[in-house]
């Protein structure tokens, strides 16, 4: 009867681990969800104020100086941002708790002044930093600290975007392309769902888009989606290369952090005045909505790329994923219509394909398409994500992301993402 006792012992141990992670990840989801909800509230008010006061973009250099001062005051000017959080999943890099406070304040300042960034960079850093701190408070070992860190990332992403499925898998998928840390499956899902509920209860507004499409899946529309996704994969490579080269350029010619960020702010002001539009400042969510309604300027994606590269490279804080959604939506709207697809469907496909291309996260891309657009056009999104994942190569928004298994063959490669030179 010894085997029965061993079997019961294993079940008891597994159930204990399950309940343990439900408890701690639930606490993490609640704590991160509250902090992320506060961040969302501040972000919305900052965006509303800037939208109502069109002169705010003129304060970009001043806002930049304040950001650099904050990071220097807290002795964290050489931080790696989101890359540090990703790197900490498979290494011993320390994520200080002050990262959450600094990225919170600096992202609000950037968007308040008009910098072209998104909020997911702050979400990942807030969630990772808080998750790591909670791991210290709970006295977890190093392995469990990485799991609770991923749970924190999932919670913050979920609270800000309202996409708990995508958030949970993004936290497990983003650090190592080709594998996922399934030990974090239950904690990440629990934290994401709890944080999403906390954000909804508080009143955080998240996006829920509608795609106007009456095309049934067939060979010709499917091939058109493949072609559009392939173009988006090339666009994602270009965007990643521009970000990397922009970083190199600003560091080379502006070694002083104060001068660098001021130069970037002044350049953004001049470009805004030259173009005569503020559509490319801030997160750009209204433009994404217009693209999904079938309206986008043919050159909008290129201007957004330029504005985002300058903003990030100069030292302003925020994320690159929302700008990549802007780029994908406007590009897909234009090129999709040229290919004979409904412009709205082209915009949605563009968003998913570019997102997948810059993050190398196909499972997350498919899940986020379901949560943002529903299931009516699911097969098109599946085609777009698969195509973009393969054709985007080994480029990424994140330098610390590791390509564990090849995208092209069943082969272990274990290399960091590509750099332009």
Residue 377, both tokens: 């056009």
Provide the residue range defining the domain that includes 264.
Answer: 219-416
Residues 274 and 406 in one domain: yes
Residues 192 and 283 in one domain: no
Residues 187 and 302 in one domain: no
**From 35-39, 46-50, 85-89, 109-113, the region with the lowest mean pLDDT:** 85-89
Give the C-alpha separation, 412 to 284, whole Å. 39
As for how many domains the chain has, the answer is 2
Classify residue 189: in a domain, yes or no: yes
Using the CB atoms, write b or e for 76-94: b if 16+ within 10 Å: eeebbbbbbbbbbbeeeee
pLDDT at residue 96 in the model: 78
Q: Using an 8 Å Cβ cutoff, are 399 and 83 in contact?
A: yes
The CATH number linked to 179 is 1.10.3080.10
Q: Which residues contact 149 (CB under 8 A, 6 or more apart)?
A: 85, 88, 89, 95, 128, 131, 132, 135
Q: Which residues contact 1 (CB under 8 A, 6 or more apart)?
A: none
Q: Using an 8 Å Cβ cutoff, are 353 and 229 in contact?
A: yes
Helix (H, G, I), strand (E, B) or coil at 117: coil
pLDDT at residue 92 in the model: 67
Residue 227, both tokens: 């072609």
pLDDT tens track for 152-175: 999 999 998 899 999 999 999 998
Q: Of 202, 231, 252, which residue constitutes the final position of a domain?
A: 202
Classify residue 69: in a domain, yes or no: yes
The interaxial angle of helices 343-359 and 378-391, nearest 10 deg, is 40
Give the C-alpha separation, 59 to 186, whole Å. 44
pLDDT tens track for 243-282: 999 999 999 999 999 999 999 999 999 999 999 999 999 9
Q: What is the pTM of this model?
A: 0.94
Give the C-alpha separation, 131 to 149, whole Å. 4
Percent of the chain with pLDDT over 70: 98
Strand partners, 177: 403
Q: Using an 8 Å Cβ cutoff, are 334 and 298 in contact?
A: yes
pLDDT at residue 217 in the model: 84
């Amino acid at each position: 009867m010894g085997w029965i006792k061993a079997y019961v012992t294993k079940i008891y141990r597994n159930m204990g681990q399950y309940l343990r992670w439900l408890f701690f990840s639930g606490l993490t989801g609640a704590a991160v969800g509250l902090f992320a909800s506060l961040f969302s509230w501040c972000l919305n008010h900052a965006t509303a104020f800037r939208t109502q006061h069109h002169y705010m973009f003129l304060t970009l250099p001043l806002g930049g100086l304040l950001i650099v001062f904050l990071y220097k005051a807290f002795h964290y000017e050489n931080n790696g941002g989101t890359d540090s959080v990703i790197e900490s999943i498979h290494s011993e890099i320390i994520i200080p708790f002050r990262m959450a406070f600094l990225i919170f304040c600096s992202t609000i300042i950037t968007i308040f002044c008009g910098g072209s960034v998104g909020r997911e960079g702050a979400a990942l850093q807030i969630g990772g930093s808080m998750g790591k701190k909670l791991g210290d408070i709970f006295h977890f070992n190093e392995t469990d600290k990485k799991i609770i860190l991923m749970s924190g990332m999932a919670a913050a992403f979920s609270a800000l975007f309202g996409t708990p499925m995508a958030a949970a898998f993004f936290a497990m998928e983003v650090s190592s392309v080709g594998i996922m840390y399934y030990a974090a499956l239950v904690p990440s899902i629990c934290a994401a769902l709890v944080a999403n509920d906390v954000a909804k209860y508080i009143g955080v507004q998240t996006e829920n888009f509608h795609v106007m499409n009456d095309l049934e899946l067939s060979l010709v529309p499917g091939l058109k989606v493949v072609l559009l996704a392939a173009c988006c994969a090339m666009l994602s490579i270009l965007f990643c290369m521009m970000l990397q080269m922009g970083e190199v350029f600003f560091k080379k010619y502006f070694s002083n952090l104060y001068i660098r960020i001021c130069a970037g702010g002044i350049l953004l002001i001049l470009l805004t005045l030259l173009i005569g539009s503020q559509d490319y400042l801030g997160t750009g969510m209204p433009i994404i909505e217009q693209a999904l309604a079938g309206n986008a300027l043919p050159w909008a994606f290129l201007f957004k790329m330029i504005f985002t590269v300058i903003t990030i490279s100069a030292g302003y804080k925020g994320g690159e994923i929302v700008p990549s959604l802007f780029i994908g939506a406007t590009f897909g709207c234009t090129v999709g219509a040229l290919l004979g697809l409904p412009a709205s469907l082209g915009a949605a496909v563009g968003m998913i394909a570019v997102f997948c291309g810059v993050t190398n996260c196909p499972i997350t891309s498919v899940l986020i398409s379901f949560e943002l657009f529903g299931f009516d056009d699911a097969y098109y999104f599946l085609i777009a994500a698969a195509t973009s994942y393969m054709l985007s190569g080994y480029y990424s928004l994140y330098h610390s992301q590791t390509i564990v298994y090849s995208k092209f063959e069943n082969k272990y490669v274990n290399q960091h993402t590509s750099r332009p030179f």
